[in-house]
Copies of this chain bind each other. A is one copy, B any other.
């Protein structure tokens, strides 16, 4: 096993970008800095002009990589879900119990990406926060159907599909696996946001273990009931 070096790369749908940001230095800097800026300004106040200024480059250079900030957001969330999928597969192989695998899967979603897992020097905490507070804007738009046809949401769908399969192992007759899992994934994000900003809408305080515990219990309760 010596000298085993794995080049791990999240595969992103090519239609999301104009030019692969991983193909150049500037591209990678655009990703890293946009994570920092979107996190600090919020998606609405974030602009390519501000991004370019932070990077000491020009607007037109940024536009060479992404058509607009919405596509960039889709890129970032796709990257995130791609990474989580890897995380998920990695953490659940060799666990024979489907119930245990479901618990682990939900924990992965609740924990998000952690520092030691990340290869690129993105600010992972910031990316986690972006996913919590901005990711639903990636699909809550009038262009969702076109984007869906182009496969922009494939990463998210695959993740939900994979966990749904685990749920179906637990109860093959359960008819709402996708509904259940997408509810849980969205739920985790919303509860984290509520814990930080609208605490009367939640009982949790942002503790990811408790959060994962709640949703695991809920999933198992309904999977066993039906």
Secondary structure at the A interface, as helix, strand, loop or mixed, is: helix
- Of the listed stretches A28-36, A115-123, A185-193, chain B binds A185-193
Q: For residues 130 through 181 of chain A, which have their beta carbon under 8 Å from a beta carbon of chain B? A: 133-134, 136-137, 139-142, 144-145, 148, 153, 156-157, 160-161, 175-180
Copy count, this protein chain: 2
Docked-complex contact A201 and B140, CB < 8 angstroms? no
Docked-complex contact A137 and B139, CB < 8 angstroms? no
Contacts A187-B186, A191-B183 given; does A142 touch B202 at CB 8 Å = no
Chain B residue nearest to A164 (CB atoms) is: B203
Determine whether A54 belongs to the interface, using a CB cutoff of 8 Å to chain B.
no
Contacts A161-B200, A203-B176, A203-B179 given; does A140 touch B133 at CB 8 Å = yes
A interface residues, Cβ below 8 angstroms from B: 41-42, 44-45, 133-134, 136-137, 139-142, 144-145, 148, 153, 156-157, 160-161, 175-180, 182-183, 186-187, 190-191, 193-194, 197-198, 200-204, 214, 217-218, 221-222, 224-226
Please list the 5 inter-chain residue pairs (A to B) with the smallest Cβ-Cβ separation, ordered nearest first: A42-B142, A221-B221, A221-B225, A183-B187, A182-B201
